[in-house]
A and B are shown apart, each in its own frame.
Chain A
Amino acid sequence: MTFISTALLTAAGAFVLVSLAVVYRLVRGPTMQDRVIAVNVIGTNTVIVIALVAAALGESSALDIAIVYALLNFLMSIAISKFTVERGGVL
């Protein structure tokens, strides 16, 4: 295991820990939007973790997964925001 992959995997682990901390906000709320923010941040961190692991293991195809996940994450935030505003028209 090279220095780079160790460093990247460590960073990925740290991102996972940080995301776990954000789960507190996801559970506590108190509002719907707080939870959406938390989920959005966790999603972003997940994308980063996937990318970091991809880089650490030299698994470049995992980057495609990261891209798709990033798209889904964005769509999720927008969709929930649009949905919670009864009248729609968020963007």
Chain B
Amino acid sequence: MTGTQILVPVRDSVTLRNTVAYAAESAVDAEPGAAPTLHFVYPVSERVTVGDPPEDATELLDRVRAWVAEDLGDNAASIGVETALVGPDEYLFNPGDYADVLGRYAAENDVETVVLDPEFNPSGMTPLLPPLETELERAGLAVEIAPVERPTRRFPLARRAGLGQFAVLFGWAYGFYLLVGGTLSTFDLATGAISGLVVAGLLWRISLSGFVDVSRLAGRLGRLVVYAPFLLWEIAKANFQIAYVVLHPDLPIDPEVVEFDAAVWSELPVTTLANSITLTPGTLTIDVSRRHFTVHALTDGAREDLLGGTLERAVRFVFYGRSAARIPSPAERDADSDDAERPTEGENA
């Protein structure tokens, strides 16, 4: 029954419709008499779907069913269609996790072929597909990426936003306008308000996401004031190291790429950490996908500093307070490989 059980992981995306059509087509083209079945599977991840209740999932699966029925047309009787939610009780985080739940489902249902939506990207903004493909292939599945048109925009720019975002953005734009203008004359106040409204009106659904409540923000800002001198000190140190290395006649560098999972969550802390890493001793963030950092370290010492986790701890201190700062450093976390985050497989290489 090769290739007759087809698994399609679904998530809302611009190319999902065409992927479903492609999967339906391949099912129709399968060898006659093989009774092909299409499995549409929605991986649910608690962490990612905080603002994304399961109704979305069921609704999406219903929509997929409707599409398939339409695509199959006369063949509908001979082709089975299954829909399922997988992984609702797990934290799906990296491609390995997704490959894991999908692989388990595949094993239970004798699935051998996986058709992937090229825009399948449940973890948000960072590309998940290439590693997921590799992981699935390692699990012994035939993986095919649906050959559908991929629009240039990879994810919808606009997100859900409320009046709060609008007000904050307007405030920023207005404040900046007045600051650069330098006067508080009626003309400036009026033109500033108009410009602020235009900026906020255009961008309020784009530039801010999931704005936090004010009290938490105040705490963060306070701790940020503590963090800034520390960061400045680290930057100063970094620069003298770089200056030494660069001006040294022998160029004593030993660059290497290090990957690790940082224990920070959500966009802003990750961004802060990534930029801090770039600014401090001999390390440069190359890629961040969700929490997985790929860092280029210029020297051996820089690598050890990074995995020592001082910076990471500092960023956690800023965003989550004192208690979170005590989470073990990346090196220690790597040591006990039975990390709670990844109960099954070992660390990815």
Contacts and interface: CB of A to CB of B under 8 A. Distances in A.
Decide if A and B are genuine partners. Answer: yes
B152 interface: yes
A5 to B, nearest CB: 22
A31 to B, nearest CB: 15
Contacts of A88: 152-154
B308 interface: no
A67 B180 contact: yes
B180 A89 contact: no
B127 interface: yes
Contacts of B127: 87, 89
Interface residues on A, range: under 10
A67 B152 CA distance: 30
Nearest to A61: B182
B76 interface: no
Interface in B180-197: 180
Contacts of A64: 180
B158 interface: no
Nearest to B150: A87
Contacts of A87: 127, 154
Interface of B (DSSP majority class): loop
Interface in B115-167: 125-127, 152-155
Contacts of B154: 87-89
Interface string A5-36: 00000000000000000000000000000000
A8 B84 CA distance: 68
B20 to A, nearest CB: 22
Contacts of B180: 64, 67
A63 to B, nearest CB: 9
Nearest to B152: A88
B128 to A, nearest CB: 11
A67 B176 CA distance: 12
Nearest to A89: B154
B156 to A, nearest CB: 13
Contacts of B152: 88
Nearest to B181: A64
A54 B104 CA distance: 65
Interface string A52-91: 0000000000001001000000000000000000011101
B267 to A, nearest CB: 10
Nearest to B125: A89
B152 to A, nearest CB: 6
Contacts of B153: 88
Contacts of B126: 89
A91 B289 CA distance: 10
Given A89-B125, A89-B127, A89-B155, 10 more contacts: A64-B180, A67-B180, A87-B127, A87-B154, A88-B152, A88-B153, A88-B154, A89-B126, A89-B154, A91-B125
Interface of A: 64, 67, 87-89, 91
13 contacts: A64-B180, A67-B180, A87-B127, A87-B154, A88-B152, A88-B153, A88-B154, A89-B125, A89-B126, A89-B127, A89-B154, A89-B155, A91-B125
Which 4 A-B residue pairs are closest in the complex by CB-CB distance?
A89-B154, A88-B154, A88-B152, A64-B180
